[in-house]
Amino acid sequence: MPPSSAASQPLEPEELAQAVAKLAQCLKQSRAQYSISGGAASMVVCMQHGLEDVRSTEDIDLVVQPAGDITAESISTWLLQNYPNDFVAKITYGVSIPSLAFRRSNGSITYIEIEMFESMFGLKDLNNEVVMIDVSGVQVPVFSARWLLREKIITAFERRGSKKERTDVEDACNLLEAVKSDSVDLTNREDAVRHLLAKRPDIRQSLEVKVICPAVLGRPWAWNEYAEIYWRFEKDELRCVDENIQPHKCEWNEAARVWYFTAGGRSWFYSAECNDLRLST
C-alpha cells in the first residue's frame, strides 16, 4: 500500500503535466485507444493555450475505449504488470487502482491515482473530439477544449453542492479562454448555463460569445475576421467586443442610418445589405 499523496504538498501544474506525459509514454505499447479527461485534461489544454493560474489535480482521469480484450480493468492490470517500478496498486472502495509513483523536484515520491473509465460513447465519434497535445515531449491524446468545457458546465450543475462543483466551475471558467466563439452548443441545457452564471456572473460576456444557449445568453455572436470583432444586435442596437471580450463603443449615425465603431485604429460600420461589418472608406 503506497503512502497517501494527500499528505504531501499539492502537485504543481508542471509536475502533473510531467506525470501525464509519463503515463502516456507507458501506454504507448498497450494497444489501447484512450484519452486524458477531467481536471488533468483541463489543465493540459489550458497550459497549451498559455493560460496562467491553471488548477492542478491529485489524480489523472483516463477514458479507455473498450475493444476486444482491452478494457479499463485490463489496462490497469497491464500497467501494474509491465511497469512495476512506476505503478503500484492502491485499493479504493475494494477496487485496485494503479497509482503512478512520481518523483518530485525535491526528491520525494508522491502517488498519483489513475482513475480509469470505459468510454460509452466512442472515442472515434467526431462529437467526442480528441486532440494530440505535446506534453513534455510526449504526444498525449486529450479531449478538446470545447468538449471539456461542455462537460465541465454540465457536471458543475449535476454536482452542485459538492466539493467537485467548485473545481468544475473553476475549470469551466479557465476553458472559456481556450475556445473560439460559438464553440459549445448548450441549447438544451439552459439549467446548467444558468447555474454557471449564478456562480460566476462576471463571465457572462465570455459565455455569450463562446457558448450557444439563446434562452439564457441571447442570439449567437458573429465573428468578423477583418475587423477582429465579435458582433450582434440586441434590441436593435449593435454590440461589438474584441477577441479579448473587451467592448467597443458603437454609435448610430442618423444621417447615414448606420452603426459605426472603431477597431484597430480604423472606422467600421454595419452593412444591412451584407449583414456584416464593413470598413468605412
Where along the chain do its domains lie?
5-143, 154-217, 222-279
Domain 5-143 carries which CATH code? 3.30.460
Q: Is the pLDDT of residue 158 over 90?
A: yes
Q: Find the range with the poorest average confidence among 3-17, 18-32, 53-67, 176-190.
A: 3-17
Residue 3: pLDDT band by 50, 70, 90 thresholds? very low
- Reported as a single tens digit per residue, the pLDDT across 200-232 is 999 999 999 999 999 999 999 999 999 999 999
Question: Mean pLDDT lowest for which of 11-15, 108-112, 123-127, 182-186?
Answer: 123-127
* Dihedral angle computed from the Cα positions of residues 70, 74, 76 and 80, in that order, rounded to the nearest 10 degrees: -120
Neighbours of 196 (CB within 10 A): 25
pLDDT for 8: 61
d(CA 261, CA 51): 30
Residue-wise pLDDT for 138-151, tens only, equals 999 999 999 999 99
Closest CA to 117 of 10, 6, 11, 32: 32
- Which pLDDT score is estimated for 240? 97
**Arithmetic mean of pLDDT over the chain:** 92
CB contact at 8 A, 173 and 201: no
